[in-house]
């Protein structure tokens, strides 16, 4: 309250409705925090009722005529046939292929896109899409709303997603979370390095090498997801660690 000529800065409503003045505040960290919060709210709201889902990762650069494209498409299709929703990064290449397989099989085909300096947009086979500004908010959605990861041949983005999952499994932040690398020839070099260098030098334990499965058999990958879901159903949520 101000009386008798004390400084009058107007009301908060006046300042709210005043469109003149600097808009620099849009680029301040407190405002960013609200945008980050909004991404979590939107993601949680959109995905809460998705049901059991598997995230499929792989190269954004896989060409349509590459065998990995067909592989990703089949993975998407088979996961839907087993009652899973399919979540991808919503981009081109292997993501597009997995979304195509899922969509054509009549299942939930989800794309969690990311704002990039070069505009790509969600691929045409995403039937439920969210575009994120922040990588870390998007990455939370992949883990929170999927029950396992199928990882197809990919580059840095795919490695990032793979190693985030493995770190969360290793530190028991997620339990009963199968990670399957499909494509033995492609992944062999990484697996050999993990065993012969990382494990040999004591940077990971032997058990860490069992946190993922490498296969060429997409059916094996799908059945690992099915079995993990059955295991998760058998363990009541109240009994699972927080």
What is the binding site for ligand LYK5OOP5 (CB under 6 A)?
Answer: 57-61, 89-92, 95, 113-114, 116, 120, 154-158, 161
- Smaller CB distance to ligand LYK5OOP5: residue 31 or 193? 193
Q: How far is the CB of 159 from ligand LYK5OOP5 (least distance, A)?
A: 7
What's the closest the beta carbon of residue 237 comes to ligand LYK5OOP5, in angstroms?
28
What angle in degrees, to the nearest 10, is found between the helix axes of 156-170 and 135-145? 60
182 sits in which H/E element: strand 179-182
- What residue spans of 48-183 are helical by DSSP H? 67-81, 94-104, 135-145, 156-170
Residue 40 burial (CB count, 10 A):
16
- Which lies closer to ligand LYK5OOP5 via its Cβ, residue 40 or residue 186? 186
Neighbours of 46 (CB within 10 A): 16
- Kindly state the smallest distance separating residue 68's Cβ from ligand LYK5OOP5, in Å: 11
Cβ density class 216-238: b for 16+ within 10 Å, e for less: eebeebbebbbebbeebeeeeee
Q: List, in sequence order, every residue forming a beta bridge with 181; answer none if it has no partner.
A: 151, 214
Closest CB to ligand LYK5OOP5 among 87 and 108? 87
Asked if 143 and 175 touch (Cβ cutoff 8 Å), the reply is no
CA neighbours closer than 13 Å in the CB half-sphere of residue 177: 22
The nearest distance, CB 97 to ligand LYK5OOP5, in angstroms, is 12
Report the residue number, 25 or 118, with the smaller CB distance to ligand LYK5OOP5: 118
Q: How far is the CB of 124 from ligand LYK5OOP5 (least distance, A)?
A: 13
Q: Least distance in Å: CB of 1 to ligand LYK5OOP5?
A: 53
Whose Cβ is closer to ligand LYK5OOP5: residue 95's or residue 218's? Answer: 95
- Smallest distance from the beta carbon of 113 to ligand LYK5OOP5, in angstroms? 5
User: Considering beta carbons, is residue 50 or 232 the nearer one to ligand LYK5OOP5?
Assistant: 50
The smaller minimum CB distance to ligand LYK5OOP5, of residues 183 and 200, is found at 183
HSE on the CB side for 191, CA within 13 Å? 16
Contacts of 95 (CB under 8 A, 6+ apart): 56, 57, 58, 60, 72, 88, 89, 111, 123
Closest residue to bound ligand LYK5OOP5 by CB: 157
Cα-based distances in Å from 88 to 3, 81, 108, 125, 169: 60, 17, 11, 11, 20
């Amino acid at each position: 309250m101000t009386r008798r000529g004390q400084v009058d800065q107007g009301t908060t409503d006046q300042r709210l409705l005043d469109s003149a003045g600097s808009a620099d505040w849009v680029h301040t960290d407190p405002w960013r925090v609200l945008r980050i919060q909004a991404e979590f709210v939107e993601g949680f709201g959109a995905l809460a009722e998705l049901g059991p889902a598997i995230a499929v990762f792989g190269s954004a650069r896989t060409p349509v005529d590459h065998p990995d494209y067909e592989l990703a498409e089949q993975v998407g299709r088979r996961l839907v046939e087993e009652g899973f929703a399919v979540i991808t990064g919503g981009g081109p290449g292997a993501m597009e292929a997995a979304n195509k397989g899922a969509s054509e099989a009549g299942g939930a085909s989800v794309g969690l896109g990311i704002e990039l300096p070069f505009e790509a947009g969600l691929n045409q086979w995403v039937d439920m899409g969210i575009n994120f500004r922040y990588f870390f908010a998007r990455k939370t959605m992949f883990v929170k709303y999927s029950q396992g990861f199928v990882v197809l041949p990919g580059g840095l983005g795919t490695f990032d997603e793979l190693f985030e999952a493995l770190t969360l499994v290793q530190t028991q932040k997620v339990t009963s979370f199968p990670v399957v690398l499909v494509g033995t020839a492609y992944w062999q070099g990484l697996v050999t390095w993990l065993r012969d260098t990382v494990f040999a030098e004591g940077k990971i334990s032997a058990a860490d090498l069992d946190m993922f499965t490498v296969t060429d058999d997409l059916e094996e990958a799908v059945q690992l997801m099915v079995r993990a879901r059955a295991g998760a159903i058998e363990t009541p949520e109240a009994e699972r660690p927080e």
